[in-house]
């Protein structure tokens, strides 16, 4: 119905039409239609770009000016990134803005982790596997990132700690997923070779990897985040890795928690049978 109504609109290179495209994309994305949402985002960005270029190239007098200029006085640019530059903001605006900056910097690290080939994250052979220098550097960047989170946010990387907000939970999920990506090659190697003999250091690293994945799943469950489809699929991929390790006796307990994670997926996206389990049960497995 929404798409049918949208198709009846006349295409315009205006700010309003670009907003309609983006709002349509948000609606479709929340419904899980990722490809259609991307198409509307692309169209909306293209529309906005053309509108801006039209305002710049004012020598074409026959092209009407858009209303973008009306927004100029509402944007006090440049926006400061340091904590002192945001003290004048309303508390709610300041929190959202600061989390937005934190997410951007975290995604920069996450992108480096994601684009690094798995064979460059792990080094060693036989029973001695360790993080490569590249992975250790990325791990250090994540540690530094956590140290630079402003105290006024009262935010913690740990599940169900600190002041809980939707945007704060999202950032927390991104953090733990980035950490798990660093260790995923080792987790998948051990799961494929459960009889392999690991040295003590490799085994400690493997247990740390499992703990990272478990913390990600706990955040997803106990903080009741309203996760969008793309981030959800990433969380589900971690659940699958943990279930594989659990089925082969490499991860003690947590079986009910992993089942609950799938139950929550069913509740949000109607893809699997529901399973009853309380938040208290999840915490009791810590």
DSSP 214-264: HHHHHHHHHTT----HHHHHHHHHHHHHHHHHHHTTSS-S-HHHHHHHHHH
pLDDT band, very low/low/confident/very high, at 274 (cuts 50, 70, 90): very low
More confidently predicted of 180 and 52: 180
Closest listed residue to residue 163, CA positions, set 176, 173, 152: 152
More confidently predicted of 264 and 100: 100
pLDDT band, very low/low/confident/very high, at 235 (cuts 50, 70, 90): confident
> 240-243: which pairs have CB atoms within 8 A and are 24 or more residues apart?
241/184, 241/187, 241/188, 241/191, 241/213, 242/210, 242/213, 242/214, 242/217
More confidently predicted of 108 and 265: 108
Residue 278 is predicted with a pLDDT of 47
More confidently predicted of 41 and 196: 41
Q: Which residues contact 84 (CB under 8 A, 6 or more apart)?
A: none
Average per-residue pLDDT for the chain: 80
Distance, CA of 1 to chain centre? 30
Task: Please tell me whether the overall predicted TM-score, pTM, comes out greater than 0.75 for this model.
Answer: no
Residue 19 is predicted with a pLDDT of 86
Min mean pLDDT across 74-88, 164-178, 251-265 is at: 74-88
Average pLDDT of the residues in 67-90: 64
Task: Give the tokens for residue 286.
Answer: 């810590």
pLDDT band, very low/low/confident/very high, at 142 (cuts 50, 70, 90): very high
Residue 242 is predicted with a pLDDT of 92
Average pLDDT of the residues in 207-232: 85
Closest listed residue to residue 110, CA positions, set 48, 181, 62: 181
Average pLDDT of the residues in 215-221: 92
Residue 135 is predicted with a pLDDT of 92
Residue 173 is predicted with a pLDDT of 93
What percentage of the chain reaches a pLDDT higher than 70? 76
Residue 276 is predicted with a pLDDT of 44
If you search the block for the tokens 């200029």, which residue do you land on? 69
Task: Find residue 123's DSSP bridge partners.
Answer: 130
Whether the predicted pLDDT of 219 surpasses 80: yes
The number of CA neighbours under 13 Å toward the Cβ of 266 is 11
Whether the predicted pLDDT of 156 surpasses 60: yes
Average pLDDT of the residues in 182-201: 87
Min mean pLDDT across 71-80, 120-129, 138-147 is at: 71-80
């Amino acid at each position: 119905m929404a798409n049918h109504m949208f198709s009846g609109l006349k295409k315009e290179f205006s700010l309003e039409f670009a907003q309609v495209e983006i709002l349509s994309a948000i609606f479709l994305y929340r419904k899980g239609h990722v490809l259609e949402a991307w198409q509307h985002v692309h169209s909306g960005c293209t529309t906005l770009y053309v509108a801006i270029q039209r305002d710049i190239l004012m020598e074409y007098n026959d092209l009407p000016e858009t209303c973008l200029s009306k927004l100029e006085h509402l944007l006090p640019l440049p926006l400061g990134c340091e904590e002192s530059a945001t003290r004048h903001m309303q508390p709610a605006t300041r929190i959202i803005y600061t989390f937005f900056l934190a997410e951007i910097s975290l995604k920069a690290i996450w992108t480096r982790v994601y684009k690094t080939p798995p064979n460059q994250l792990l080094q060693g052979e036989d029973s001695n596997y360790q993080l490569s220098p590249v992975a250790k550097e990325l791990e250090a960047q994540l540690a530094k990132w956590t140290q630079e989170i402003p105290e006024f946010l009262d935010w913690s990387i740990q599940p169900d700690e600190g002041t809980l907000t939707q945007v704060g939970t999202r950032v927390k999920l991104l953090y733990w997923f980035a950490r798990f990506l660093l260790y995923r090659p080792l987790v998948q190697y051990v799961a494929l070779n459960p009889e392999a003999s690991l040295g003590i250091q490799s085994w400690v690293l493997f247990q740390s990897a499992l703990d990272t994945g478990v913390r990600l799943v706990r955040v997803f469950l106990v903080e009741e985040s309203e996760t969008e489809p793309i981030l959800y699929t990433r969380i589900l991929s971690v659940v699958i890795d943990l279930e594989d390790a659990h089925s082969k006796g490499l991860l003690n307990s947590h079986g009910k928690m992993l089942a609950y994670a799938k139950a929550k997926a069913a509740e949000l996206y109607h893809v699997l049978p529901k399973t009853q389990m309380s938040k208290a049960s999840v915490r009791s497995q810590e």
